[in-house]
Amino acid sequence: MFLELLKKRRSIRRYKEKPIEKEKIDILVEAALRSPSSRSLNPWKFVVVTDRALLEELATSKPHGGSFIKNAPLAIVVCGDPEKSDVWVEDCSIASIILHLQATDLGLGSCWIQIRKRNRDEGQAAEDHVKEILGLDNRLMVEAIIAIGYAQEEKEEHAYDSLPFDKVKFCQ
């Protein structure tokens, strides 16, 4: 059941030194490409990174909250083209959560690293650093990096009674 998948999905930041099989990477890419998109404009672009040197460079994009990328065997950089859609942020966010859920379904761990509107340091935006590393077109905006790998840590699901039910209002 879908709810069981949601219960399993946790942010994983420690990965085993084990490459992800090509078949699983292909499934992750297909899942991202099947993500819903407003008016089917598909303003996203995905950069699949398995090169160890590039992963280490991406880990420096956001030193506080992204350094663990260097230990992941895979990162998928989720970008959007604001010229294609005014809701590219939403479409990229949907694609990112689809990647998380597909990774969980494949027995992989994942973690979202927010890049948009974050700084690498006082002199450079995280997004500019990622664009530079990957040679991305300047018109693209980098939403996030999704680190993916075989989990080296296990996390329990959030207990039902810890869910913030006070955030829900029923109008009947």
- The DSSP symbol for 107 reads T
Question: Phi/psi at 130 (nearest 5 deg)?
Answer: -65, -45
Span 7-15, average pLDDT: 95
Q: Write down the pLDDT at residue 122.
A: 80
Torsion over CA of 44, 108, 11 and 33, rounded to 10 degrees? 10
Lowest mean pLDDT among 111-115, 121-125, 156-160: 121-125
Element housing 47 (H / E): strand 44-49
The model's pLDDT over 15-53, given as tens digits with 9 standing for 90+, comes to 999 999 999 999 999 999 999 999 999 999 999 999 999
**Would you call 108 helix, strand, or coil by DSSP?**
coil
pLDDT in tens, 151-161: 999 999 999 99
- Considering the four listed CATH numbers 3.40.50.300, 3.30.2000.20, 2.40.170.20, 3.40.109.10, the one that applies to the domain covering 2-153 is 3.40.109.10
The ranges assigned to domains in the chain are 2-153
Q: pTM here?
A: 0.95
Count of residues in the chain: 172
pLDDT beyond 90 at 97:
yes
Q: Which residues contact 23 (CB under 8 A, 6 or more apart)?
A: none
Residue 63 pLDDT greater than 90, yes or no: no
* Amino acid identity, position 138: N
